[in-house]
Amino acid sequence: MRRFFWMEEDRVVAARHGGVVDAWHKLSLPGVRCHTCGATWSDVGYEYPSIDLSQLPERHEFVKARPEPFSEFARLRELVRPLAPPNAELPPGTGFGPLVGRATGDFGPIVWVGGEKLLLRRDVLERLQSEGVRGLLGCPTQLRFRKKDAPELLELQVEPRGRLHPDCIPPEVPPPCATCGRHGFRRPDEPILDAASLPTDLDLFRVGNYASMVICTERFMEAVHRLHLDGITFQELLAR
């Protein structure tokens, strides 16, 4: 039986190292104002640092964060879709390109940004891959360090795959909007993964309908422990 673990930042370890990253993806899809459900929203956890929008003539339309009517949002999403992985959902707020910003202090082998984005040193990424961890894609960042011997930090592109099981979503929550796709619910106190939806080719992914949650397989967790990498807490989740 496969085992899955919810990964979060180990804040005790982060405080001990003392490093801080203040950075963001400068290009993103806008938020949306939906004429069907009435919500104005954008999502978090959807970032594709490997997608380069610099050659798009409409690149400037992805710079400013703002809500747009659904028709305009949909037009911009279709411009990006040919560059995205197959079947990528690309909800409002999806970010693209390198992480840009400042980094100060000292860092361990694994760095979290905002408790959601994962950064690794290049040598750490290579060691995890040598341990057989599957599906890791490290992307260059554009971080400005104050010190000269700054580490090279790569952002992992952790794609949303799999779903939370319907049993852990309150029954009174309305279904996803037929137009914009918004499914508005809080993270369950006891998340359950939908086993049939989980990827079989990746050891690290996000939950497709709650993308701020980063999930790993037992293979990933064991590799982290073997390599004595700190910075992550693991909580096993039920999958059914």
Structure confidence at residue 139 (pLDDT)? 98
Question: What percent of the chain has a predicted confidence (pLDDT) above 90?
Answer: 91
Task: Classify the C-alpha dihedral 95-99-101-107 as positive or negative.
Answer: positive
The predicted pLDDT at position 192 comes to 98
What per-residue confidence (pLDDT) applies to 146?
Answer: 82
Contact between 87 and 162 under an 8 Å Cβ cutoff? The reply is no
SS (HEC) of 111-178: EEECCCEEEEEHHHHHHHHHCCCCCCCEEECEEEECCCCCCCEEEECCCECCCECHHHCCCCCCCCCC
CA dist list (Å): 151 to 104, 119, 131, 143, 157: 11, 11, 22, 10, 19
Structure tokens at 228: 């004595």
Q: Which residues contact 7 (CB under 8 A, 6 or more apart)?
A: 214, 215, 216, 232, 233, 234
Q: What does the pLDDT look like over 138-180, one tens digit per residue?
A: 999 999 998 778 889 999 999 999 999 999 999 999 999 999 9
Q: Work out the pLDDT band at 22, boundaries 50, 70, 90.
A: very high
Residue linked to tokens 């940004």 = 113
Mean pLDDT, residues 65-86: 96
Region 64-89: mean pLDDT is 96
Residue 92 has a pLDDT of: 98
Q: Residue 123 has which token pair?
A: 């040598």
pLDDT-derived band at 87, boundaries 50, 70, 90:
confident
43 vs 18, 60, 81, 198, 228, CA distance in Å? 29, 21, 17, 21, 33
Mean pLDDT of all residues in the chain?
95
Q: Map out the domains of the chain as residue ranges.
A: 23-96
CA–CA separation, 43 and 81 (whole Å):
17
Taking residues 81-90, what's their average pLDDT? Answer: 92
pLDDT in tens, 97-138: 999 999 999 999 999 999 889 999 999 999 999 999 999 999
Closest CA to 203 of 125, 139, 110, 107: 125
Inter-residue contact 210 to 43 (CB < 8 Å): no
